[in-house]
């Protein structure tokens, strides 16, 4: 899957949370914790970055749609530049 010209190793199908974020420690854990609190199971996750500390992309395939509350919490994180939920 291409996101803003960057290859992310995930099939473009199912329920996907697509994130653009600052590449920094703890981002995978942060997203996992927010989704876990919302009872959303992660089926697959793929990450892509050009270099350490640059912009990174995370695509998370989930079993159910995250709640509006969870999406707002993700979007409100200081390191998140963009967060979208799509169902393909």
* The pLDDT of residue 2: 67
Q: In which domain, by residue range, is 8 found?
A: 2-87
pLDDT in tens, the chain (88 residues): 767 777 777 778 899 999 999 999 999 999 999 999 999 999 999 998 888 888 999 999 999 999 999 999 999 999 999 999 999 9
Q: Which two tokens stand for residue 57?
A: 């992309």
Overall number of domains in the chain: 1
pTM, to two decimals? 0.88
Say what the pLDDT of residue 63 is. 98
- CATH number for 19: 3.30.70.260
């Amino acid at each position: 899957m291409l996101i803003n010209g960057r290859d992310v190793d995930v099939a473009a199908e199912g329920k996907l949370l697509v994130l653009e974020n600052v590449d920094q420690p703890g981002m995978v854990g942060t997203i996992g914790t927010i989704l876990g609190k919302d009872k959303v199971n992660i089926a697959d996750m793929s990450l892509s970055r050009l270099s350490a500390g640059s912009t990174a992309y995370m695509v998370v395939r989930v079993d159910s749609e995250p709640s509006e509350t969870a999406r707002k919490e993700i979007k409100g994180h200081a390191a998140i530049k963009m967060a979208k939920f799509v169902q393909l």
